[in-house]
A and B are shown apart, each in its own frame.
Chain A
Amino acid sequence: MTATPIGSGVESAVRAQEGEDGPRPQPTWEKVLRRTGRAIIVAFWVMVVAFMLIRLSPGDPVSAALGADAAPDTVAAARKALGLDVDPLTQFWNYLTGLFRGDLGASLISGVPVTEMLRTNMPVTLWLIFTSVTMTLVISLPLAMFIAMARIPGLPYLFRTLTAIGLALPSFLVALILLYQFGLIWQVAPIFGYDPTFPANLQYLWLPSLVNCVVLVPVLSRVLYSSILDTLEEEFVETGVVRGVRWNRFYWLYVLRPSLAPTVVLLSYMMGVMVGSTVILEIIFALPGIGRELVTAVTMRDYPVVQGIILVFGILVVFLSLIGDIVASLLDPRVRLT
């Protein structure tokens, strides 16, 4: 074959027909920056809502700490000491300025700085989320792909049934059953406790992560399964077959990658939900995570702790979904960052 264009006469005609080159690829970083800016604004509003909610709900920390029959001047003194004697707007201002100094305040009950609590307890929760997501991915990706491509009669039906059961099980029940089975009967997992150093902590995290998988795997693998089925219907898969692409490249570039975007977005959303739902697992498995601290703080009306944790959770959720969107658009250029 030669390098010269065949029948060069049509060249000019073609030029006249198509004129444009189509939209030029826009710099991605610009979109990422815009999207990040919006995420920051959302995180701020999350904080405002957290501040308001805890103050609008009934009960206050002073009566919780001193009891209902405390003398009025003792209560007033306590309020002054905690900075609750000024109006809510000033309280918010004080809180906000503290925030920029890296000061989230201290617990009204124990006096421990909130940043200190976050530093010790947050990693546990993050590790739990991380291991859960990793396990979920390791199980879901091959599972969904196998079921979509194996063409074994009856298998998709079995898959739908089992995933429906998994979805319907409440996670606290699954946690108790697994804890009983693995921890007591087989004794292959510790029943409670935690070790904050890296390889050792996995020993304590794998069972709670497995519990998360029971809920996460069905959701994720189902979404991925149906996206893969959609992708397989597309003509470019056929083109790939005819092109003779090697199987490993074929599965990744022609099947999995074009199907991943919805799954990635869903996963980032579910990670956000998990930030809240790990509380149950932290309690059942006695893990010193931040979720447990939050529950305690809410019952004690420990304003700074609740505010601090909710703020961090909010930022986490917002940025997880940001990362999800960015990853999705990197995997599949058809996904637009908006």
Chain B
Amino acid sequence: MSVNAMASESSDVLVEIRDLVIGIQRTRKDRLLIVESANFDIRRAEILGLVGESGSGKTMVCRSLIGTLKRRSASIFAGTIKFDGMDLAKLEERQWRSVRGSRIGYVPQSALTGANPVMTVGKQLGEAIRRNRKRKEKDVRRRVMELLELVHIRRPEVVYDQYPHQLSGGMRQRVMIAAAITQDPDIVVADEPTTGLDVTVQAEIMKLLKEIRSELKMSVILVSHDLALIDEVCDRLVVMHAGTCVEVGSVSAVARTPLHPYTIALNRSRIDISTPGAPLITIKGNPPAVGEWPAGCRFSDRCDFVQQDCTVGRNPVLVEVRPNHWSACLHAERLGGTSE
């Protein structure tokens, strides 16, 4: 079954990303591709994990969903992002205004720099509420309080008048989550929302994202390179490597029978703290640099199962190997069952 058959599988698909190509136009002829083939769906009220090494294009895919690629001088060269009858890949800046915030919320990467340092918490949240409808000052304040309580901020009346730098990292990220869900969006894009937070706080933030999904029925895209975190909170998983989606499937299926050598390698390289002294397993080689991708499969250089046909021709595309489980490995059928 081909990629195009993906959508027919489920009617609760919210966003459909097909053959997305993102890059930087350096000169008129010179294009630097960062994402070459992104193919996946976002379903209603699911937490979708997006994993991959740095430089795999995760963040760029996120930016394409909130329309801020231009700020990093990148743009979409081809492909579609279908969302509610619109193609986000072709939206004009003016049209984006009705999508951002109200339809798609965004939780920034770092709690440290994600909040505006010169505005109090109350002002920032109020601004997000006020933007579309004219609202009375009192109503805005009440709504902000509601939101702060919703994300479990203690003493919201104190936090309301505080500046972000006066809050702890965890609280700051809670505030950012509150800001993202202010206008009741369909999707919340969380780009590595727990960077720089300690593990216990990380777990709390994840818990909060899960609650948002189940209680508010929002879809969450969670970008991370932490597989343990993804396993715990996500329903489905998209694995990216060198600008390509290499495996898409439910978390349980991907964990049980990974169908791409890269996923297998990622799984194996987890740090096992239950057996002290166990050797650290790493993936050999470095992720190929943007623009220096090898011929054929991008993972062929680093793959343990590499065959002759892997290193020639074009980068293989996603194929539905098992029901609802896609892999971009030419030999995925043979990998099935090689789980850890």
Closest to A16 in B: B200
| Contacting residue for B170 out of A17, A240, A242, CB 8 A | A17
The SS class assigned to the B binding surface is mixed
Q: Which 10 A-B pairs have the closest CB atoms?
A: A6-B215, A242-B106, A235-B108, A6-B211, A236-B116, A333-B163, A244-B101, A235-B114, A14-B152, A235-B113
B117 adjacent to A236 (CB under 8 Å): yes
**Among the interface residues B128, B152, B216, which one has the most CB atoms of the partner chain A within 10 A?**
B152
- Which residue of B66, B102, B117, B149 contacts A332 across the interface (Cβ within 8 Å)? B117
When the two chains form their complex, are residues A239 and B166 in contact, meaning their CB atoms are under 8 A apart?
Answer: no
Q: Which of these, A18, A249, A257, contacts B154 with CB under 8 Å?
A: A18
Write out the residue numbers on chain B whose beta carbons fall within 8 Å of the beta carbon of A254.
116
Interface centre among B115, B117, B118, B159 (most CB of A within 10 A): B118
9 contacts between A and B (CB under 8 A): A5-B149, A15-B154, A18-B168, A21-B154, A21-B159, A234-B113, A236-B117, A243-B127, A258-B118
Are B171 and A240 closer than 8 Å at their CB atoms? no
Given contacts A1-B181, A236-B115, 6 further A-B contacts (CB under 8 A): A6-B215, A17-B204, A20-B168, A22-B162, A243-B127, A244-B101
In the complex with contacts A14-B204, A236-B117, A239-B114, A25-B211 CB distance below 8 A: no
Is A101 in contact with chain B by the CB < 8 A criterion?
Answer: no
On B, residues with C-beta under 8 Å from A are 66, 68, 71, 73, 97, 100-102, 104-106, 108-110, 113-119, 127-128, 131-132, 146, 149-150, 152, 154-155, 158-159, 161-163, 165-168, 170-171, 176, 179, 181, 184, 200-201, 204, 207-208, 211-212, 215-216
Say whether, besides A14-B204, A235-B108, A243-B127, A334 and B158 are in contact (CB < 8 Å): no
CB distance from B290 to the nearest CB of A (A): 19
A5 and B115 contact, CB distance less than 8 A: no
| A20: min CB distance to chain B, Å | 7
- The dominant DSSP class at the A interface is helix
B128: nearest chain-A partner, CB-CB: A243
- The residue that A239 contacts in the complex, of B108, B154, B159, B215, with Cβ under 8 A, is B108
Judge whether A241 and B100 touch: CB under 8 Å: yes
Closest to B165 in A: A334
Bound state CA distance, A22 and B200, in angstroms?
17
Which A residues are CB-close (under 8 A) to B113?
234-236
Chain A's nearest CB lies how many Å from the CB of B234?
18
Among B73, B117, B149, B150, max chain A CB count under 10 A is at: B117
* Contact partners of A111 in chain B: CB under 8 A: none
Judge whether A23 is part of the interface by a CB distance below 8 angstroms. Answer: yes
Contact of B118 among A151, A246, A253 (CB under 8 A): A253
Output the nearest chain A residue to B168 by Cβ-Cβ distance: A22
Q: Which chain B residues border A25 with CB–CB below 8 Å?
A: 161-163, 166
A245 CB–B CB distance under 8 Å: yes
Of all chain A residues, the one with the shortest Cβ separation from B215 is A6
